[in-house]
Amino acid sequence: MFEKVEPAAPDAILGLNEAFQADSNPNKINLSVGQFKDAEGKTPILGCVKQAEEELLKSESSKGYLGIVGDTNYGKMVPGLLFGEGHQLLAENRVATVQSPGGTGALRIVADFIATNFPSSTVWLSNPTWPNHPNIFKAAGVPTKSYAYYDESDFSLNYDAMMSDLAKVPAGDFVMLHGCCHNPTGVDIADDQWNAVGEVLKIGGVTPIVDFAYQGFGSGIEEDAIGVRTLAKHVDEMIVCSSFSKNFGLYCERIGAVTTVAADADASAAVISRLKKCIRANYSNPPAHGAKIVAKVLGDEALTSQWHVELAEMRNRILDLRKQIAATMKSLGSPVDFRFITEQRGMFSFTGLTREQVQKLRDEHSLYIVGNGRINVAGLRDSQVEIACKAIIDVL
Ligand code: LMR
């Protein structure tokens, strides 16, 4: 049987990591997968995380299973981060959270939920979007379509085209929005545009799913939640898939969440009961460690303050790298004005490089970026900025 299996193409993002590991060039640079690196190229464990782990090691007394929905303390803390402590939705019991194995796991739970409860719905994805979005919905048997989002000509949001496409989405479908730090473009919906987005979805009877994997990486924890919170003012129902991979640096712990907003408490309970069915049939119940770390930090004032400081350091490093790249490209005489990179937010930027140019970067400079031209700005060491800029100018 297995002789007939056709080998699959490597993953568009994680496959590049494998190719990078196999590259023997000592000067190779990996700007593919979205993982933060410090000035020396290390992905650090945050101090608040280390301290929480030390305390957990002392106090933990069992490795028994968590419930299907995960750690209950964690489940209570996540909505406050998304919607703001004391939000009316929380008081009305319309919000519920289930723990998930990372942001990808959250998306797959939602995809299974849609497949089993809304089998005739389509999920609309931005053009472009994270390459794994279509994979996840396809694996669950949910059809996807795309709406206009990015304007290649000036590296910006094509707001009018987006609004016009969103207005045409049929009632009963879902629209995937990136809460902040759009992946792959780094181009976000502006704060004052979210009202119109919420209104068009409300009028159209369309449910938003917000992929919210980078809270705190754009402008700040509260600032980055403006999109989610504005949508919640307009629509009665929504889904948020969030992750602590980036903002807590907990990549390998696979810790994320699905948070649903329902029209009332009964509907909320019914939705969670259905999410539980999806989880049980998939991985049964989640791993505990990441959730316990997050709950420990968010449940402790001093650790939370430390987290805010450490998160700001990561965010500021990325903002600084964006400025360095734009300035270096200019001083090296780049044929393309890279000032746009300082306008974008989060880990990623769309360089506008073609697939051929991306391949040339890899073949001739051992510089690895995603085939669609996305670079992980947060993956550059200080010492690599000039080398990377020179390579990009060479292929341009
Ligand atoms: C990325 O887009 O690089 C990250 O979200 C990691 C991943 O799983 O692709």
Query: Model confidence at 161, in pLDDT bands (50, 70, 90)?
Result: very high
List every span in the chain annotated with CATH 3.90.1150.10.
Answer: 2-45+303-395
pLDDT tens-digit profile of 74-111?
A: 999 999 999 999 899 999 999 999 999 999 999 999 99
Taken in order 40, 41, 47, 51, the sign of the CA dihedral is: negative
- Stretch (H or E) spanning 240: strand 238-243
pLDDT recorded at residue 138: 98
pLDDT recorded at residue 262: 98
pLDDT recorded at residue 326: 96
CA distance 140 to 125: 15
Distance 157 CA to ligand 1 centre (A): 21
- Which amino acids bring their CB within 6 angstroms of ligand 1? 13, 33-34, 104, 130, 132, 183
Written out in words, the top-level CATH class of the domain with range 2-45+303-395 is alpha beta
Q: At the topology level of CATH, where does 65-299 sit?
A: Aspartate Aminotransferase; domain 2 (3.40.640)
CB 214 within 8 A of CB 196: no
- 261: tokens are 């907003």
Please count the helices (runs of H) and the strands (runs of E) in the chain: 15, 13
pLDDT tens-digit profile of 271-288?
A: 999 999 999 999 999 999
Atom of ligand 1 nearest to the CA of 32: 3
pLDDT tens-digit profile of 311-356?
A: 999 999 999 999 999 999 999 999 999 999 999 999 999 999 999 9
* Of residues 385, 389, 343, 352, the one with CA closest to residue 370: 352
Q: What is the DSSP letter of 358?
A: H
Which residue puts its alpha carbon closest to atom 2 of ligand 1?
34
Mean pLDDT confidence for 225-241: 98
CA 280 to chain centre: 24
pLDDT recorded at residue 367: 97
Query: Model confidence at 69, in pLDDT bands (50, 70, 90)?
Result: very high
Atom of ligand 1 nearest to the CA of 11: 9
List every span in the chain annotated with CATH 3.40.640.10.
Answer: 65-299
pTM above 0.85, yes or no: yes
pLDDT recorded at residue 146: 98
pLDDT recorded at residue 19: 93
**Strand pairing report for 238-243 and 256-261:** antiparallel
pLDDT tens-digit profile of 30-51?
A: 999 999 999 999 999 999 999 9
Mean pLDDT confidence for 159-165: 98
